[in-house]
Amino acid sequence: MGFRDLFAPNVAKLKDKKDSEGLIRALSYKKDAEIREISARILGEIGDARAADPLIQALRDEDSGVRHQAARAVVKIGDARAVDPLIQALRDENADVRVEAAKILGEIGDARAVDPLIGALKDENEDVRYQAGNSLGEVGDPRAVDALIQALADKGASVRAGVGDSLGEIGNENAIEPLVKVLRDDDTRIVRERAAWALAKIGDVRAVDPLIQVLMDDDTRDVKDQAAWALGKIGNVRAVDPLVEALRDGDENMRMQAAKALGEIGDERAIGPLNEAIEDENAWVRMHAETALRQCKKRKV
């Protein structure tokens, strides 16, 4: 550190003392961006409401690292006045700042962020688009549904998967058919998995037959497991026979998920196959089959 920095704030000591006022002053130390960045982070950890205004101002700092830490700190303090500056930060030149702004807007959950986050679904950066989609799910505003459905066609697999999650969180029935189409996404398994999860979350019986098709035909184990889980959550009896068939699958995870799903549906037709499954060679399958058997018998009574 050069001579001119001899009088720089000692942020380590300020942190030890939890000296918010000293850290607020350090946040405006123009000679060293690292000091401002560390000060912003520590102020967020301390959570002193007096730091809200200085941190909001720091969202416009010339250094992207300072803006990044200020954004994270503001949400920890919980000041709603940060929403507008964070919306502005969605247009920051630095992608990491845009990602952080989108993330924090989701955590705050203010409806004012819906339209700006929808706009961020078209950001050039895949991480920003992913986080914008995820945050729209956290906000949970139905106004985002159409834009999220369109984003199911995004070129980024992570974006499509995250958007699927968000549509499940919002739970709008308009998303059912688009999510069913995504069950046949041929690019990556995680997109199909998250579509199955979202359909289970929405819980509409229109998803049952497509999920059964996945259970029977998909060649990816994780996707089949997720389809079995989803069928159990939806709870429609049309899934009983395919799930009974899955109890005899060569993969132990598939048998376990099938047993769990049959227990959630609770149809008496599963009692005989589950009695067989309690003799399975795998301990986890046996355990879940026993639990499912009790559930089916209880509902029969």
Yes or no: say if 54 and 22 are a contact pair by the CB < 8 Å rule. Answer: no
What is the chain's mean pLDDT, rounded?
Answer: 90
Q: Look at the chain and count its residues.
A: 301
- Given a cut of 90, is residue 137 above it in pLDDT? yes
* Most confident of the following: 11-15, 91-95, 230-234: 230-234
What pLDDT, in 10s, does the model give residues 141-171? 999 999 999 999 999 999 999 999 999 999 9
What's this model's pTM, rounded to 2 decimal places? 0.79
